[in-house]
Amino acid sequence: MRTNLSAYQSRILWAIWRETYGFNKKEDWLSNSQLVEMTGLHKQHVSRTVMELIKRNIVTKAGYKVAFNKDYTQWKELPKRVTVTKAGYKVTDWGYRSNQSGGTQKKKYNILSDSPESDHPFNSNGSLKTLFSYWNSLNIIQHRKIDKYKRHLSVALKSYSSEEVAEAMQNYKDILESPDHFFKYRWGLDDFLSRKGGLDKFLSINDPFNNFRKGPKQ
């Protein structure tokens, strides 16, 4: 059996394994706060990584109970490595792929890897166009021209990194489509960035998957 796990995924998975099969239990009540304490990871990374493991069907969650899925034939592999060119980026559900317009120098990134921010396509030099393309790729509400949204994007980037903004966009999409979460308002990019209950509430550090969950919070 072979499977690829990022460093964060491995740490979270071993913590879940220890709290379940380590105590002869198939599942256990585990909050993100407990996983933060057990792994030493930041809360935003724990929230994101748990969702990744659930999407890969390596971990299952029923209510507040978390379990390790022993049936590895049901596991889903990581998205393939993608190519980023100097010419710019196009975006997938998980990250970014190369701009079809070309570019001669190419560098590969694993979108779910735990590489430093400086080695990530959405680092401090991320462009407004990149974030605009990323938003459109999520198919929430698409926009044809960036002009109307440049100011909102620029304001957001004064407070948050490009990676944080992109991750909040992905969190928003995931919550919209999740049957376990109650938030279902579809905003355009301008509303998402400017509304009081928009960007900030969907930042991973603010634990949106717990805050917008149906029923009692963890």
Contacts of 140 (CB under 8 A, 6+ apart): 172, 173, 176, 186, 187, 192
Indicate the CATH number for domain 7-74.
1.10.10.10
At 85, which helix (H) or strand (E)?
strand 82-85
> Cα torsion for 67, 71, 73, 75, to the nearest 10°?
10
What b/e sequence results for 44-70 when a residue is b if at least 16 CB atoms lie within 10 Å of its CB, and e otherwise? bbbbbbbbbbeebebbeeeebebbbee
The domain spans of the chain are 7-74, 116-211
Cα–Cα distance measured from residue 4 to residue 106, given in angstroms and rounded to the nearest whole number: 23
Q: State residue 185's pLDDT score.
A: 92
Are the C-beta atoms of residues 36 and 42 closer than 8 Å to each other? yes
DSSP state, 216? S
At 27, which helix (H) or strand (E)?
strand 27-29
Q: State residue 21's pLDDT score.
A: 86
Question: 91-136 pLDDT, tens per residue?
Answer: 443 343 334 444 433 333 333 334 433 334 444 344 788 899 989 9
Question: 132-190 pLDDT, tens per residue?
Answer: 998 999 999 999 999 999 999 999 988 888 878 888 898 899 899 888 899 999 999 99
- Please state the rounded mean pLDDT for residues 12-37: 87
Identity of the amino acid at 98: S
Of 42-46, 98-102, 211-215, highest mean pLDDT: 211-215
Residue 39 has pLDDT above 60, yes or no: yes
* Residue in 210, 188, 136 with CA at minimum distance from that of residue 166: 136
Tokens of 205: 């550090």
pTM over 0.75? The answer is: no
In order of 147, 164, 195, the CA distances from 144 in angstroms are 9, 23, 21
